Amino acid sequence: MKLVVNEWIKLWSKKSTWVMLILMLLLVIVPAGVMKYYDESSSENWQLTSQQVIQDFEKIIEEDDLDESTGSYYYERIMMEKYRLEHNIAPNGTTMDKFMGNMLEVASMVITIFIVTVAAGIVSSEYSTGTIKMLLTRPVARWKILLSKLVTTIIFGLTLYLSAIILSAILGASLWGTAMSTPLEVIEGQVVQMDVWSSYFETFLLSFGSFFMSIFFAFLIGTIFRSSSLAIGLTLFISFMSNMVVLLLSRYEFIKYVWITHVNLNQYGTGYTPMIPGTTLTLGLTVNFVYAIIFLVITFIVFNKRDVTA
* pLDDT by 10s per residue, the chain, length 310: 888 998 999 999 999 999 999 999 999 999 998 888 876 544 457 788 888 889 998 888 887 677 776 777 788 889 888 888 888 877 766 788 888 988 988 888 899 899 999 998 888 888 877 787 787 777 888 899 999 999 999 999 999 999 999 999 999 999 888 777 777 778 777 888 777 788 888 888 998 988 999 999 999 998 888 878 888 888 888 878 888 888 888 888 899 999 899 988 988 887 677 888 889 999 999 999 999 999 999 999 998 887 765 4
Of 101, 108, 107, 147, the residue nearest 239 (C-alpha) = 108
Contact 221, 231 (CB under 8 A): yes
**What gap in Å lies between CA 264 and CA 210, rounded to an integer?**
6
**What gap in Å lies between CA 79 and CA 58, rounded to an integer?**
11
Contact 295, 269 (CB under 8 A): no
**What gap in Å lies between CA 131 and CA 117, rounded to an integer?**
19
Of 40, 215, 229, 217, the residue nearest 124 (C-alpha) = 229
**What gap in Å lies between CA 272 and CA 280, rounded to an integer?**
11
Q: What is the pTM of this model?
A: 0.81
pLDDT given at position 124: 84
pLDDT given at position 310: 47
pLDDT given at position 69: 66
Contact 179, 83 (CB under 8 A): no
Which DSSP category does 185 fall into?
Answer: E
3-state secondary structure of 161: helix
H-helix segments, 226-280: 228-248
Task: Give the dihedral sign, CA 267/165/24/212.
Answer: negative
pLDDT given at position 43: 45
pLDDT given at position 151: 95
pLDDT given at position 44: 56
What are the two backbone dihedrals, phi and then psi, of residue 17, each rounded to the nearest 5 degrees? -65, -45
